[in-house]
Amino acid sequence: MSALNILHVDKTFGNTQVLKDISLAIESGEFLILVGPSGCGKSTLMNAIAGLEPVTSGDIQIGGEDVTWRTPAERDIAMVFQSYALYPSMNVRQNIAFGLEMRKMPKAQREEAVARVADLLQITPLLDRKPSQLSGGQRQRVAMGRALAREPQIYLFDEPLSNLDAKLRVEMRTEIKKLHQRLGTTIVYVTHDQIEAMTLADRIAVMRDGEILQLGTPDEVYNDPVDMFVAGFMGSPSMNFIPVTLVSRDDGYVLRVLDEQDPTGAPLELPWPPAREAQALHEWVGERLILGVRPEHFVEDETRMETSFDGTRLDVMATVVEPTGADILLQATLSGTEVTMRLGPKSQVAAGERVALRVDMSRAVLFETTNQRRVA
């Protein structure tokens, strides 16, 4: 039985439709992440689940019960806000206990619950402080403690880590992951952070303009995107999109990379792996398509001398080299298109040099140009 079931939910503010026929089912104990560009309706969907905004149409079920018209208090949900929303006049202990008090839990039990979450989140020494006396990370912990104390059926996190600095964000991310694994809670989580989405989620829902474009495991969303938007949105640096024409040859399909600047030169041709000969591909022969290649699917060709390698050899001119520490991001022009490649940290490439690369075509994806849907 699903913990949360959203059925055909629409939400309009005045004349603008912010949520369009959203349907989602979340299993108990699942960690679902909502991602999408700013203004696509993620917070609105969270508010609808929490009951803070009434939906225009559709149903919301929690634990099999229809809660569409119940108040937030009756839904057994806890939410962690980006701004933490701690009650400023109460100390940490009172903040955590407030929800329990409102639910008329006896004082002894309340104190027990506070002690339990304080221990879990290691905030016991902070219990008598006011929120204004806490650091960002500590406030974040208290906000989570307030949610955890009630032991609700579902937790909603709306960009909980975006106010923290990079290092703390990574720490808290790990902590949230540990908590989830330990407590087996059901979580819906909004984030802008690619890595947060990839590392935390059991499933990711990618939203745009009030619609869910793709719902799947992080691996599916990353490696098997349904369209160009999802492909470009997930991953950082984002996927390279290279305009190509599909050409059929005797020995299989070839992608001819178009070069607008230099139409007379010999075009670069990338063979499409025969193993991936999709049924649908033949109807696109001669058409313009978009080839999507992730930066890490380029590899520097150190094995130039060997005759066999699983990839297609390329020769490009490096324009910008950005070492990130863990690896090197290389900008290069590939037949008139700027592409970003992720090379190993040992790479000796310098800007202005020619580099020999291989591209792993077995992981590349193809999109059509009109609706930007996935072709293969």
Partner 1 sequence: MSQTDSPLPRSRAKAARHSLSGSLERMLPRLVIAPSLAVALFFVYGYMLWTFVLSLTDSGMLPQYDFIGFAQYARLFANERWNVAATNLVVFGGLFIILCLFLGLMLAILLDQRIRQEGALRTIYLYPMALSLIVTGVVWRWILNPGLGVESLVRSWGFEDFTFDWLVNPDMAIYALVMAAVWQASGFVMALFLAGLRSIDDNLFKAAALDGASLPKVYWRIVIPCLRPVVFSAVMILAHIAIKSFDLVMALTGGGPGYATDLPATFMYTYTFTRGEIGLGSASAIMMLCGVLAILVPYLYSELRGNKHG
Footprint of ligand ATP on this chain (CB under 6 A)?
13, 18, 36, 38-44
* CB of 13 vs ligand ATP, minimal distance in Å: 3
Q: Which of 219, 222, 217, 238 is nearest to 33 (CA)?
A: 217
**Binding-site member from 4, 9, 43, 127 for Mg ion (CB under 5 A):** 43
195/280 with CB nearer ligand ATP: 195
Write the CB contacts of 72 (distance below 8 Å, at least 6 apart in sequence).
Answer: 50, 51, 52
In sequence order, the 6+-apart residues with CB closer than 8 A to the CB of 36 are 42, 206, 207, 208, 233
DSSP 181-214: HHH--EEEEE-S-HHHHHHH-SEEEEEETTEEEE
Residue 50's binding partner among partner 1, ligand ATP, Mg ion, none (Cβ under 5 to 8 angstroms by kind) is partner 1
Of 11 and 150, the one with the shorter C-beta distance to ligand ATP is: 11
Stretch that binds Mg ion, among 39-47, 116-124, 333-341, 351-359 (CB under 5 A): 39-47
Maximum Cα interatomic distance, the chain, rounded to a whole number of Å: 82
- Asked whether 330 and 349 are in contact (CB, 8 A), the reply is yes
- Residue 291 CB-half CA count within 13 A: 26
Q: Which is nearer to Mg ion, 43 or 68 (CB)?
A: 43
40 binds, among partner 1, ligand ATP, Mg ion, none (CB under 5 to 8 A by kind): ligand ATP
For partner 1, give the closer residue by CB, 142 or 197: 142
Query: 77 to 96, contacts with partner 1 by CB under 8 A?
Result: 77-79, 81-83, 85, 87-90
Q: Which is nearer to ligand ATP, 37 or 344 (CB)?
A: 37
- Cβ at position 42, least distance to Mg ion in Å: 5
Instruction: Find the shortest distance in angstroms from Cβ 322 to ligand ATP.
Output: 27
Give DSSP secondary structure letters for 101-117. Answer: HHTT--HHHHHHHHHHH
- Residue of 53, 63, 56 whose CA lies nearest to 25: 63
- The footprint of partner 1 on residues 100-129 (CB under 8 A) is 102-103
**Taking the complex as a whole, how short is the minimal distance between the CB of residue 196 and partner 1, in angstroms?**
20
Sign of CA dihedral 107, 113, 115, 118: negative
Instruction: CB nearer to partner 1: give 143 or 289.
Output: 143
Binding partner at 91 among Mg ion, ligand ATP, partner 1, none, C-beta below 5 to 8 Å by kind: none
Those residues whose C-beta lies under 8 Å from the C-beta of residue 302, and which sit 6 or more positions away, are none
| Site residues, Mg ion (CB under 5 A) | 43
| Site residues, partner 1 (CB under 8 A) | 47, 50-52, 71-73, 77-79, 81-83, 85, 87-90, 98-99, 102-103, 146, 150
